[in-house]
Amino acid sequence: MNLLDEKEAAAYTDTGVWATKAIKEAKLFGKVETVCSSREANFNYIPKDFAVPNDSKYLHITTNNTIYGTQWQKIPHTSNVLVADMSSDILSRSLDFNSFGLIYAGAQKNIGAAGVNIVVVDKNILGKVKRSIPTIMDYRNHIKEGSMLNTPPVFAVYVCLLTLRWLKAQGGVAAIEKKNEQKAAILYQEIDSNPLFRGSVVKEDRSKMNVCFVMDNQEIENKFLQFAIENEIVGIKGHRLSGGFRASLYNALPLESVEVLVSLMQDFAAKNG
């Protein structure tokens, strides 16, 4: 709405459910060219070989795909404005934020409680569309009012403050990135070495936030899920679109929790292998 006029075109990457939803919404405001997609493989990889038309107003990516467990490990370089949905991996790793024209994210993964949305935008790319934008949706108004255009969800914002203070005490983004890499490495190593499990994503595109894996035997999957619940591990059932299991390793999850899951997987394999 702020960046795309009705007769203009934008480039979108189709890498999962939230990317697909972004494409659908963008079509309400202008032309959309899907420059790449991994839909044919049930979104189990990130496309690498694609071209962005020079006349595209921007290129849109979803940096991490929670349902399928893929992540842009290398942010694409483009001469176009780069727009990113970072809802599920913002502040989990170090990035060159200056390479983005606009970043938007929900706070509920790594920053705070649901109900807070974050937009980081280069103000120089705003004010270029001809359409009338509703006051509350015009980013220029939020900038002008110091993000106080409307009454914010005060408690949720306060939770964000506490979370950001915690993150700073951990050593900041660079330090938490090392912890996230360690958590992901331990779990993926177990998935790759345990004969009962296998990863569902191309290795180079594996998410460090959402680890997705499956078992070839559906009956064994159900048995493992019940085994996990009995051992007080909950919430690892995969999304209905991808099946299997999904372990989310967001910033707040301690390494010890991953170690418990790995130990459980080993124990289950010893009893059922």
Give the closest residue to 22 by CA, choosing from 84, 108, 68, 95. 84
pLDDT at 189 over 80: yes
Is 273 a residue whose pLDDT tops 90?
no
pLDDT of residue 218: 80
The residue annotated as part of the active site, out of 14, 57, 89, 109, is: 109
17-59 per-position pLDDT tens digit: 999 999 999 999 999 999 999 999 999 999 999 999 999 999 9
Amino acid (1-letter code) at residue 112: G
Q: Which residues of 162-187 are buried (b: 16+ CB within 10 A; e: fewer)?
A: ebeeebeeeeebeebbebbeebbebb
Q: Which of 18, 31, 223, 237 is catalytic?
A: 18
How confident is the model at residue 225, as a pLDDT? 94
pLDDT digit string, tens, across residues 58-104: 999 999 999 999 999 999 999 999 999 999 999 999 999 999 999 99
Over pLDDT 70: what percentage of the chain?
100
**What token pair was written down for 173?**
């983004």
Helix axes 255-272, 218-230, angle to 10 degrees: 130
Task: Give the domains, in start order, of the chain with CATH numbers.
Answer: 9-167 (3.40.640.10), 172-272 (3.90.1150.10)
Average pLDDT over residues 260-270: 97
- The single residue of 85, 89, 138, 205 carrying the catalytic annotation is 85
Average of per-residue pLDDT across 243-271 = 97
pLDDT, mean of residues 114-127: 95
55 in catalytic set: no
Average predicted confidence (pLDDT) for the chain: 96
How many Cβ atoms from other residues are within 10 Å of residue 153's Cβ? Answer: 17
Query: Is 18 a known active-site residue?
Result: yes
Token readout for 188 is 């993926």
Average pLDDT (231-236) is 94
